[in-house]
Structure formats: C-alpha cells, structure tokens
Amino acid sequence: RLHDIEGSDGRQKSLSEFLIFAMAGGLILLVWLNKPQDYVHLAVLYWPLVALSVFHAHDVLSGHRRRKWIALAIFIIPMLTFAGYSGRLLQKFHEQYDIFLEMERARIYVSSEEAVMLDQVVKYIHENSEADEAVAILPYFPMAHFLANRLGPHRSAYIVWPFPEIPNRDEAIVESMEALETDLVIYNFTQFYSFDPVWEHAPVLFEYLVDNFTIHRVFNTENWVRPPVALGREVLEVDSPVAQILSVNQEGASLWVEQKSAPPRFVSPDVREVYLKEMLWPFRRVIALRPSSGGRESVFSVPLHVPKGGAHLKTAFAVHPQWWSELSSTWVEFGLRLRVGDEVIPLHRQRLEPSRFFQDRAWFELDIDLGEWAGQDVRVEFLNSAGSPRGESLWMAGWEQPEVTVSLQGDGDSANLGLGEDWTEGSSEN
C-alpha cells in the first residue's frame, strides 16, 4: 500500500503511523507472551521507551497544530494520572526502603530486614574468603557478589535460571568450582515464584552441592521470608566406618499410619510415594516421610540386625529449608524408636516449628548407640506427625539417609566385629 501513496510526505506519514502501531503491538506481545523474568527487562526499558515516544510523537504531529491540540486533550488526563501515581509510588518506596545502608562498594536504600541480612552476608563472606577467592552465590543474588567484591567460579554461576545460556551449564559450574577449589557457597532460597525449584532446573549442580557441602550458617532476621544460608565443604571422617544404609526399598521395610485406640492402617504400594520418598534436600540425601495430622502418626519401619560388636545409628532430621518460613505456621513432630520383639523403646522425640522459632531452622543430628542390643534383630521406626493438615507434605519432614556404623578396629576385618555373613558394607542402594 505504501507504493500507492503519492508523494514522499504521505509515505513518510504512513511509515510513522505504521511504526507507532508496530511498536505498540510489539510491546503488547512482549508483556503478554514473554516469560515472567522479562517484566524486569521491561522495567529497564521503560524510560528509553518513554523518551523515544516523544520523538515519534513529534514526527507524527509536526506541522499539524490542530492534531497536536487534539492529542494533548486526549492524553493530558492519563499523563497527569500517571505522573501522580509515579510520585505516590516513589513515596511508598521511600517509606518501605527507609534505611540508607553505606557499604564499601555502594550506598543503597533498603528495608530494615534487608540491611541486617546484607550486612551479615557480606561480613561472613569477607571473614571466610580471600579477596582473590571465588565464591559461589546460588542460584542468584548478584547484589551480594557486588557488595562483597567477590567473583563467582564461572560466568554462568551468577544467575542460575531455568533457561541455561550455555550447553551443559551445570557441569561447567561444577568443573569450575572443583578447579578453583571453591569452599564457600551462599545459597539464597528466595526465587521468582513462577520458577520451578533449583533441584528441577539445575539437577546436576544441586546434587553436587548436596554431596559436597553442608549448611554452616543461617542468616536469620526477624521477618525475612526465606533466609540465605552459608555452605561449607563437608569434612569426611578420617576413619571411615563400615556402614549399612537404610533405604525405603529395603527388604522387610513397612509403612503405616497409626492412631491411638485404633489398629494401624498400612499404606498400599500404589500410594507409597505419596507418603515416603528418597529425595535430595538442601543439602542432604533424605528419606522424606509425610507427617499425618489429627492425632495420627506416619511410621516407617526398617528391619536391622545389630552386629555383635555393637553399632551406632546415625541420621539427622529437619523441615525442608525451603519451607522454614512458610505461613501459616504448623508444628511437625519427629520420633525415633526401636522395636525389639513386643517391646517398643523410645529413642528420641522432638517437635519443630521453624516458621516461628529460629532455633528450629537447622538440621538436628542423631547418633544413637545400639550396643545394648548387640547381636539382636530389631526394627528401627521413624515417626512423623503434624499439628494441622498443612503439615501433611513430603517437604515437612525429612530424615537424612540413616546409616548404621561400626568403627573399624585393628586390621578392619568385619568378621572380628561380629558382623557375620548378614552384614554387607553399603548393602542397600543409596
């Protein structure tokens, strides 16, 4: 159609109108179709787009005085409304972010909670790393990198989103962390709600963190929703014990829901994974056991032959760290007991409510001496209950993969420790 328009002026006007409509259509498509993180990019482009609109408006309205007055009459009210809203928004931002935080590399306005958290994180990084040492801050917290003045181990490690910018991104980050001997990781649980969890979109990297790092510090503040944590390399014991890993698929294992004054209700194999599952949690391999509420308790029972020389049952328990601050609050109770014949022996019981109590935001280690039952066949039973139906989730109760260990002595011959033929090192799959 542009070729049919007579004269260069007419063609220029048509091109200008077409360009404006094309920009408007493109902007609508950008907002409507793009992934959620592009709203951030849209905000970055906001002022340049406003500035460009002035030039395009000048091209369209130049030489048309009447058209200018009509356009002004149409847009004056929306423009004043928009300006008033922008001013009000600026005032609210200033009221919410009222702390002027002065740090070595920048001065920024933040909320009181952010000021405490950022100060803790930056100080911890400075105290636990050298200036030329790489620090991994995952999955994304670029401000901490900048304020602490520390480089990441790899160019793709600054923002780990569900959209990898290079092939084999996880492997590249892991290789760089190993090559640079990265010992400090800051893990930030705060993510865009529209993103899937890190363990789903970066499984190789997450598994590497689980198997090589452990939580050393939780940066708790009064109301911070999901506090970041500091991870350090896991230190393995020099004298490696002989270990049997207790597994959900172990022969003879059973699962039921019990309630006082009622027979136990065994969970059928068809829905077993709803109640029990081996998972990777931050930052341990766990057996997740879904708690039951309303006075009921979920029970996972595993048979065990205690070696004649005695043994220790080692595990840890926690609410999933990603849910430490979830509301509304509900408690989850963890229990561990031993069944020897008809006798039930309580070993440990503890109630956690991490959304209310900072001290519950942790992994709680257990090391149970089984020497009293040496040479006997027993059943180890893990129990979980919740204060409300909200706690009935696999994310609310996890037991670190339980190990039964026997310290090596002398030449390390397991036969001398009374293990017998029924003991196989690492007999269950991890």
Give pLDDT, residue 335: 98
Instruction: Give the model's pLDDT for residue 283.
Output: 92
**Among 128-137, 167-176, 227-236, 323-332, the least confident range:** 323-332
- Contact assessment for residue 100 and residue 107, using Cβ atoms and an 8 Å cutoff: yes
Q: Are 212 and 175 in contact (CB under 8 A)?
A: no
Kind of pairing, strands 332-340 and 343-352?
antiparallel
**Interval 308-337 mean pLDDT:** 89
30 conformational bin, left if phi > 0, alpha if psi -120 to 50, beta if neither: alpha
pLDDT in tens, 90-119: 888 888 888 888 888 888 888 888 888 899
Tens of pLDDT, residues 182-210: 999 999 988 877 788 899 999 999 999 99
CATH 2.60.120 placement within the chain = 242-406
Q: What is the CATH number of domain 242-406?
A: 2.60.120
Is the pLDDT at 368 greater than 90, yes or no? yes
What order of strands is seen across the sheet that includes strand 377-386?
Answer: 262-266, 254-259, 296-305, 377-386, 332-340, 343-352
3-state secondary structure (DSSP) of residue 60: helix
Mean pLDDT of 392-401: 96
pLDDT value for 31: 62
Answer for the pair 216, 127: CB distance below 8 angstroms, yes or no. no
Q: How far apart are CA 412 and CA 265, in angstroms?
A: 43
Task: Report the distance separating Cα 181 and Cα 197, nearest Å.
Answer: 26
pLDDT on residue 185: 97
The larger pLDDT score, comparing residue 347 to residue 244, is at 347
Cβ 110 vs Cβ 118: under 8 Å: yes
- Three-state DSSP at 394 gives helix
Residue with the larger pLDDT of the pair 245 and 186? 186
Quote the pLDDT of residue 346. Answer: 97
Phi, psi torsion values for 53, nearest 5 degrees: -65, -30
More confident residue, 251 or 416: 251
CA distance 218 to 276: 27
Mean pLDDT of 131-147: 93
Residues facing 339 on adjacent strands: 344, 379
Average pLDDT over residues 266-280: 94
Instruction: Report the C-alpha dihedral over residues 177, 183, 189, 194, rounded to 10 degrees.
Output: 0
CB 324 within 8 A of CB 409: no
pLDDT score, position 93: 81
**pLDDT at residue 57 in the model:** 73
| pLDDT beyond 60 at 430 | no
pLDDT-derived band at 302 (thresholds 50, 70, 90) equals: very high
Query: Mean pLDDT over residues 151-164, rounded?
Result: 92
What mean pLDDT is predicted for residues 375-404? 95
Task: Specify the pLDDT at position 243.
Answer: 67
DSSP state of 140: B
| Cβ count near 47 (within 10 Å) | 9
Rounded CA-CA distance 154/167 in Å is: 14
Residue percentage of the chain with pLDDT more than 90: 50
What is the pLDDT confidence band of residue 47, given thresholds at 50, 70 and 90? Answer: low
Using CB atoms within 10 A of its CB, is residue 166 exposed (0-12), middle (13-18) or buried (19+)? exposed
How far apart are the C-alpha atoms of 308 and 418, rounded to whole Å?
4
Q: Is 40's pLDDT higher than 60?
A: no
Residue 296: pLDDT band (50, 70, 90) is very high
Residue length of the chain: 430
Q: What is the pLDDT of residue 7?
A: 56
Tell which wins on pLDDT, 201 or 411: 201
Statement: residue 365 has pLDDT above 70: yes
Residue 417 in this model has a pLDDT that exceeds 50: no
Instruction: Give CA separation, 23 vs 16, 19, 50, in Å.
Output: 11, 6, 12
Contact, 35 vs 162, CB < 8 A?
no
In terms of phi and psi (left: phi > 0; alpha: psi -120 to 50; beta: otherwise), the region of 25 is alpha
Q: For 288-312, what is the mean pLDDT?
A: 94
The predicted structure's pLDDT at residue 406: 84
Q: Is the pLDDT score of 414 beyond 70?
A: no
For residue 4, what pLDDT band results from cuts at 50, 70 and 90? Answer: low
Residue 6 confidence (pLDDT)? 53
The pLDDT value given to residue 420: 35
pLDDT at 37 over 60: no
**Residue whose entry in the numeric block shows the structure tokens 């091209």:** 59
pLDDT of residue 153: 96
